[in-house]
Amino acid sequence: MRDPDFGVTGVSEQDVIHANKNDLAKIFRITTSQIQGSSSTDEGAATKQYTLLMADSQEERKKWVIALNELKTLLKRSRLADRSAFSVKEVFDVTSLPSIRVAQCAVVIDRTKVVIGFADVGMYCVELDRETLVAVGGEKENKGRFIEKVEFNASEQLILVMVGPTKDRHVRLVPSAALDGRDLKWIKVAETKGCHLMSMSAGSISGTSSAASSVGNVHYIAVAIKKSVIIYQIDRSEKRHKKWKELAMPGLPQSLAIEGDRLVVGFTHSFRTWALGDQANSKHISLVNMEDQSLQFLSQSNYEAQLMIELNGEAAEPSSREYLLVFDKLGLYVDAQGRRSRSQELMFPSAPRPGGFAHLSPHLCVYSENQVDVFDVRSAEWVQTINLRTATPLTPDGLLSLCIVNDAPFVVMLCDVLSDEDALYVPQVSPSGTSSAVGKRKQGKRKFSVRVPGKDEARAGDRRSNLPISYPSDFMHIVHMGPGSVHELQSFIDLQPQAGSNQPNVEKVRGLIPIMRSTSSSAAAAHPVKQLGGSKQDIEQIHRGRPLSTTSKSSEGSSLGRDGNTTTSSTSCENPYLEPISKQQTNPSSFSQSPSSPLCRLPPQ
């Protein structure tokens, strides 16, 4: 209802071409908006989504249309505050990047780079500003690989990848240097075959010596294999990791995350945390205290754990921290002891899709079949519904999502409405089809191309040659030389220079004016070298004293043809005569006073 494009109307035969004519009077249509600034629409406009509904009778349809329109009118009159958190923008569609049909996961490297994992295609780095695709680690390393999940650690410049298929699923580490397409082997993490969950984050070692603690934070990798979780520590060795410890789980882990120096694992109707700093410590803390009578219902039904959100952050005291435990059917607020901290619960209006939960602080996004519901985790309020069909989060935070728009796959971005700039740089496409990315000139929608290192080395020069050229400005007509009348240039606009500075500039330019050269020694004897002036009298004297030749044009537009007769041709500043400099004579007396090419300033464009 809060959608500005929301509307309810009847339908025509063109709207429902496959419907029975007898049912036409029972069908009505609901219109909503989807993506802002899609490539299929004008900039700032939104693509429309149409939902067709059929009532039991024509009278029932009229009641629904009237009721929904009146409800929309009442909502406008109430003037409720718009608490929308996100707007949706297109990143690329299937026409610009056909491979998104099999996209499985993604991670953002920076504002212009996104790494996307595909099914049976491997992992590619998408350069948004250059509109290119680069195979991470080379094409051979990606051939036939199924990428299920990918994460990026900016501090260690490492990419953590879960590689399928299911029977041979394992985890590999990829250095960020492989993003430019160079041939680099992915590092296989030992003992990870058969894994189903993974996570990578940073933590700090507690209880270590000052020498060790001065090194800084230690980064960990967690991999869930059946009913156990193996913790690895990232180091500077050749393999970039070492096994830290292994923890036995009470059940099959359903969610896995590393928050600071703690490992958070979700099970059916429960969440538990382990400290990572102490290698020998295997004690855990349960975030669901069954002594709380209000939480015992969790054990009586199947509630699958999705994710845990810490509300207070690391700055709060451990005893005063509050957590939101998200299950597939609801969300609960608990304290550090696992007791309920709020009577409020998050109830989802639609059944979530598998893996359809993402936390983009401070909002929780719940993905269902026809929409994305947004909740403010601080106030436990349902603040927005985004109309996206069959949407699936590609990134853990939901910044990038794969959805269906008008029966075609799209990758879209959630943009914070309160932020000054988007998290990703997406070049806009003008109505003429020209992308604003540097060096790109296209006659339609954006199209990403695969870049192979070594074969596209000249791309930088090509991109520079494609830069737009600015219009001329600040031109001043100093002196006219060559064919044509000076009166023809009266339409030129002279920019008035500063007082007292015109004469030196004119003299300087005259010194740079090239002198006409002739290969005829007789012409040089008849017309010795003479300093050329810029006055009208000097130019007219030059025109009168200029001899005719079979290779030159007179100042009055006549020349000698092959039969010796004089022929007339148009004279203008655009077709001057200038003897090639390559015919220069070494004898200084061979110079002629014939005029050179016109030295004139162009009028401002």
Average pLDDT over every residue of 410-433: 80
The three-state secondary structure class of 346 is strand
Is a pLDDT exceeding 80 seen at residue 455? no
Is a pLDDT exceeding 60 seen at residue 447? yes
The answer to whether residue 247 sits within a structural domain is no
Give kind and range of the element (H or E) at residue 199. Answer: strand 197-203
pLDDT of residue 494: 55
Is a pLDDT exceeding 50 seen at residue 580? no
Domain end position, chosen among 78, 96, 122: 78
Q: What is the DSSP string of 20-57?
A: -GGGGGGEEEEEEEEEET-TTS-TT-EEEEEEEEE-SS
**∠ at Cα 331 (328, 332), nearest 5°?**
135
Task: Tell me the pLDDT tens digit for each residue of 36-75.
Answer: 655 555 544 566 778 888 999 989 999 999 999 999 888 8
pLDDT of residue 50: 80
Is a pLDDT exceeding 70 seen at residue 482? no
pLDDT of residue 177: 92
Q: What is the DSSP letter of 573?
A: T
The three-state secondary structure class of 343 is coil
Is a pLDDT exceeding 60 seen at residue 363? yes
Pairing of strands 132-135, 449-450: parallel
pLDDT of residue 149: 95
- CATH at 71: 2.30.29.30
Express as a percent the part of the chain with pLDDT over 70: 66
Is a pLDDT exceeding 80 seen at residue 190? yes
Is a pLDDT exceeding 90 seen at residue 475? no
The three-state secondary structure class of 566 is strand
Is a pLDDT exceeding 60 seen at residue 567? no
Residue 100 token pair: 């998104």
The answer to whether residue 207 sits within a structural domain is no
Cα 351 from Cα 360, distance rounded (Å): 20
Task: Tell me the pLDDT tens digit for each residue of 377-399.
Answer: 999 999 999 988 899 999 999 99
Cα 286 from Cα 329, distance rounded (Å): 20
Is a pLDDT exceeding 90 seen at residue 499? no
pLDDT of residue 72: 87
Sheet holding 103-110, edge to edge: 103-110, 113-118, 122-127, 132-135, 449-450
Is a pLDDT exceeding 70 seen at residue 135? yes
**Higher per-residue confidence, 108 vs 216:** 108
**Higher per-residue confidence, 3 vs 530:** 3
Hey, how many other C-beta atoms are within 10 angstroms of the C-beta on 452? 14
pLDDT of residue 535: 57
Confidence band for 599, pLDDT divided at 50, 70 and 90: very low
Is a pLDDT exceeding 60 seen at residue 457? no
The answer to whether residue 135 sits within a structural domain is no
Is a pLDDT exceeding 80 seen at residue 227? yes
pTM listed for this prediction: 0.69
Average pLDDT over every residue of 136-164: 92
Domain end position, chosen among 40, 61, 78: 78
Is a pLDDT exceeding 50 seen at residue 282? yes
The structural domain count of the chain equals 2
pLDDT of residue 437: 46
The answer to whether residue 94 sits within a structural domain is no
Domain end position, chosen among 78, 112, 133: 78
Cα 527 from Cα 521, distance rounded (Å): 10
Contact 402, 394 (CB under 8 A): yes
Cα 345 from Cα 81, distance rounded (Å): 23
Confidence band for 331, pLDDT divided at 50, 70 and 90: very high
pLDDT of residue 12: 84
497: containing domain: 486-557+571-590
Is a pLDDT exceeding 70 seen at residue 520? no
Q: What is the DSSP letter of 299?
A: G
The answer to whether residue 495 sits within a structural domain is yes
Cα 79 from Cα 446, distance rounded (Å): 40
Confidence band for 543, pLDDT divided at 50, 70 and 90: low
pLDDT of residue 19: 82
Cα 425 from Cα 59, distance rounded (Å): 50
Write the CB contacts of 155 (distance below 8 Å, at least 6 apart in sequence): 202, 217, 219
pLDDT of residue 473: 67
The answer to whether residue 40 sits within a structural domain is yes
Is a pLDDT exceeding 80 seen at residue 462? no
pLDDT mean across residues, the chain? 77
Write the burial class of residue 593 (CB in 10 Å: 0-12 exposed, 13-18 middle, 19+ buried).
buried
Confidence band for 305, pLDDT divided at 50, 70 and 90: very high
pLDDT of residue 431: 47
The answer to whether residue 258 sits within a structural domain is no
Average pLDDT over every residue of 292-307: 91
Q: What is the DSSP string of 418-469?
A: T-SS-SS----B-TTS-B-STT---SSS---EE--TTT-TTHHHHHHHTSPP
Contact 395, 402 (CB under 8 A): no
Average pLDDT over every residue of 207-213: 38
Is a pLDDT exceeding 60 seen at residue 236? yes
**Higher per-residue confidence, 331 vs 514:** 331
pLDDT of residue 513: 52
Task: Tell me the pLDDT tens digit for each residue of 98-115.
Answer: 889 999 999 999 999 999
pLDDT of residue 16: 83
Cα 297 from Cα 204, distance rounded (Å): 36
Write the burial class of residue 6 (CB in 10 Å: 0-12 exposed, 13-18 middle, 19+ buried).
middle
Hey, how many other C-beta atoms are within 10 angstroms of the C-beta on 225? 21
The answer to whether residue 56 sits within a structural domain is yes
**Higher per-residue confidence, 544 vs 211:** 544
Average pLDDT over every residue of 294-299: 91
Contact 199, 211 (CB under 8 A): no
